[in-house]
Amino acid sequence: MKLQIALDCNDSYTALKVLEQVYPYVDIAELGTPLMISEGARAIQEIKKEYPDLKVLSDIKIMDGGESIARIVLEAGADIVTVLGAADDMTIRGVVSAAKKLKKEVFVDLISVKDIESRAAQVDKLGVDYIGVHTSYDLRNTVATPLEDLKKIKRVIKISKTAISGGIKLEMLKEIIMICPDVVITGSSIMNSGNKASVAKQFYNVLHGE
């Protein structure tokens, strides 16, 4: 299992400062939506300049204009781009088209999708690389973390890799590992920690069986 750390901050300076601490323990660096809105493609270029070998995901959550918007961040250096599962199939296919031409990857975020199981099965046939369940930040205090949703998509996905995100904490990893997602995404557990390197290392070691 891989660890994806969500760099949920508003500027590349902060993102780079966090990466200085957690770099040895991150498989995928997620440039969060706030950072993408604040600095866009420039943030990707800044991160890639300092960490050229680090796999970077641009969490722009595409909903329309799939191919043209995906190309902006992928050509800037992102290795993976996110598109919403609620988007039309044509939009997702456009993102896939852009990614394949550039030898990059596509992550479908099922946030706010009502019929998780059905949509995951549909999206799995569109040529995407990852499909992830995600508890909305705005609902995190009222909705449980997406363990049950992960179980649902694991039953139907045959091709794509699976991922889980939304309020993931260290104490949840034992149960998550039993369901075997390919990627575990955490943000606030590390970003809000006073010792980011230590927490990232704990996540990394558990997921990599070390």
pLDDT level of residue 166 (50, 70, 90 thresholds): confident
Query: Which two structure tokens, joined as six digits, stand for 95?
Result: 């993102």
Residue 12 clears pLDDT 70, i.e. is over it: yes
Query: Which two structure tokens, joined as six digits, stand for 37?
Result: 């809105």
What's the pLDDT at 9?
95
- Homologous superfamily assigned to 2-207: Aldolase class I (3.20.20.70)
> 145 versus 155: which is more confidently predicted?
155
What's the pLDDT at 145?
65
What's the pLDDT at 141?
52
- DSSP for the chain reads -EEEEEE--SSHHHHHHHHHHHGGG-SEEEE-HHHHHHHTHHHHHHHHHH-TTSEEEEEEEE-S-HHHHHHHHHHTT-SEEEEETTS-HHHHHHHHHHHHHHT-EEEEE-TT-SSHHHHHHHHTTTT-SEEEEE--GGGTTTS--THHHHHHHHHH-SSSEEEEESS--GGGHHHHHHH--SEEEESHHHHT-S-HHHHHHHHHHHHTT-
What's the pLDDT at 108?
98
Give tens-digit pLDDT for 85-144: 999 999 999 999 999 999 999 999 999 899 999 999 999 999 999 999 987 665 555 555
Q: Which class for 72: exposed (0-12), middle (13-18), buried (19 or more C-beta within 10 A)?
A: middle
Give the residue extent of every domain in the chain.
Answer: 2-207
Predicted TM-score (pTM) of this structure? 0.94
